[in-house]
């Protein structure tokens, strides 16, 4: 029976090799010890990086040369005072007083409250709508994604240490998100400081150096381990964690904390090593969070970013709806109607 199931799923697993799929656990082809010994994972990494650079070169008109150079060399962009002050304050007020459907997500002892800003959710949120249509922002994100993609937008309110009996927040471990370059971005509505845990990033760690290729190869072999050889404490989803000795071997520094004032835009290539910085207090951190991930093996980018954004939204809404019952049963997600938690430990 198990064999029949494996046979029927093999075509899907093979197709997924040419997609953004990254789990060594869920896909036995991606997680094959033999294929990774022969270099499957490393080949995926190299091809995905090459195509990312290729597409970005074609999209050069979307960003000025200073931003292109900074993003290529550091792996992130920071833009202080991104919105005019009056627009920023109106956006912050709208987000702070948001009342409606939201999702509480448990990430260790961190409470992450998120509102997915779909076209439906944006009705009655004029400031959020204006941000999702901000020409300069969209052009930068379309360039940085390398896919001409308009990202998903979320309101996100993070509060570390909120859940007293929570386990360790895995986002605080230094990691890369996946095997291919892709972006996440935040427009901070609260200042991001040590008391609420700023984003931390190692500048230049997104680059595919020879040291990184060797490290990826070793990681892929370890991630291909099966059965009892598999360390239960380790991540097997393809978001590799990195330790100090590995960083030293790759010639990388320790991460820097992106402590920034409110109204700062941060765009990061989360192929670089990063983590959620440890908060010294329990203040919330409210932001507009953006992300786009796409098939890294498609050498083309969409010529119709708005239409593509609608299609991705349609797909993503259904994906979240499918995921919800399982996540809810595991106690990780909870849907409710209300406001964001804006005071320490007041649910």
Site residues, Fe ion (CB under 5 A): 177
Alpha helices in the chain (DSSP H): 2-16, 33-37, 40-58, 65-74, 85-96, 126-132, 135-145, 210-223, 244-249, 305-329
In the DSSP assignment, the letter for residue 134 is -
Cα–Cα distance between 133 and 121 in angstroms, integer? 15
Q: Closer to Fe ion at the Cβ: 13 or 235?
A: 235
Q: Smallest distance from the beta carbon of 176 to Fe ion, in angstroms?
A: 7
Enter the tokens of residue 29: 């082809």
Nearest residue to Fe ion, by Cβ distance, number only: 177
Q: Closer to Fe ion at the Cβ: 59 or 242?
A: 242
CB atoms within 10 A of CB 73: 12
Residue 314 near residue 87, CB atoms below 8 Å: no
Q: Smallest distance from the beta carbon of 140 to Fe ion, in angstroms?
A: 20
Q: Closer to Fe ion at the Cβ: 49 or 275?
A: 275
Q: Closer to Fe ion at the Cβ: 107 or 177?
A: 177
Q: Smallest distance from the beta carbon of 293 to Fe ion, in angstroms?
A: 11
Q: Smallest distance from the beta carbon of 205 to Fe ion, in angstroms?
A: 12
Q: Closer to Fe ion at the Cβ: 177 or 193?
A: 177
As a residue count, the chain comes to 347
CB atoms within 10 A of CB 228: 7
Rg, the chain, Cα only: 20
Q: Smallest distance from the beta carbon of 75 to Fe ion, in angstroms?
A: 13
Q: Smallest distance from the beta carbon of 156 to Fe ion, in angstroms?
A: 13
CB atoms within 10 A of CB 98: 21
Q: Closer to Fe ion at the Cβ: 182 or 288?
A: 182
CA 301 vs. chain centroid, Å, equals: 19
Residue 239: Cβ-neighbour burial (10 angstroms; 0-12, 13-18, 19+): middle
């Amino acid at each position: 029976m198990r064999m029949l199931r494996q046979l029927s799923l093999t075509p899907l697993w093979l197709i997924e090799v040419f997609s953004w799929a990254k789990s060594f656990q869920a896909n036995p082809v991606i997680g094959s010890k033999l294929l990774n010994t022969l270099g499957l994972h490393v080949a995926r990494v190299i091809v995905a990086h090459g195509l990312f650079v290729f597409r970005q070169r074609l999209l050069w008109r979307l960003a000025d040369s200073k931003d292109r150079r900074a993003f290529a060399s550091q792996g992130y962009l920071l833009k202080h005072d991104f919105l005019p002050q009056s627009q920023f304050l109106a956006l912050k007020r709208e987000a702070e007083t948001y009342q409606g459907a939201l999702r509480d997500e448990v990430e260790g002892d961190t409470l992450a409250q998120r509102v997915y800003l779909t076209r439906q959710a944006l009705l009655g949120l004029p400031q959020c709508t204006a941000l999702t249509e901000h020409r300069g922002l969209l052009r930068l994100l379309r360039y940085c994604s390398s896919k001409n993609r308009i990202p998903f937008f979320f309101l996100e309110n993070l509060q570390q240490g909120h859940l007293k009996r929570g386990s360790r927040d895995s986002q605080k471990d230094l990691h890369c998100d996946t095997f291919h370059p892709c972006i996440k971005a935040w427009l901070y509505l609260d200042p991001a400081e040590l008391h609420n845990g700023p984003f931390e990033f190692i500048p230049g760690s997104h680059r595919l150096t020879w040291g990184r290729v060797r490290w990826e190869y070793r990681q892929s072999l370890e991630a291909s381990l099966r059965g009892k050889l598999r360390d239960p404490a380790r991540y097997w989803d393809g978001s590799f964690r990195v330790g100090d000795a590995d960083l030293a071997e790759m010639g990388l520094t320790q991460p820097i904390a992106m402590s920034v004032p409110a109204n700062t835009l941060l765009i990061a290539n989360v192929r670089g090593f990063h983590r959620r910085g440890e908060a010294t207090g329990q203040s919330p951190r409210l932001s507009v969070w953006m992300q786009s991930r796409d098939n890294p093996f498609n050498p083309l980018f969409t010529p119709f970013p708005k239409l593509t954004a609608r299609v991705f939204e349609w797909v993503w809404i259904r994906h979240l709806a499918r995921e919800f019952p399982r996540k809810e049963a595991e106690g990780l997600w909870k849907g409710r109607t209300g406001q964001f938690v804006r005071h320490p430990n007041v649910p």
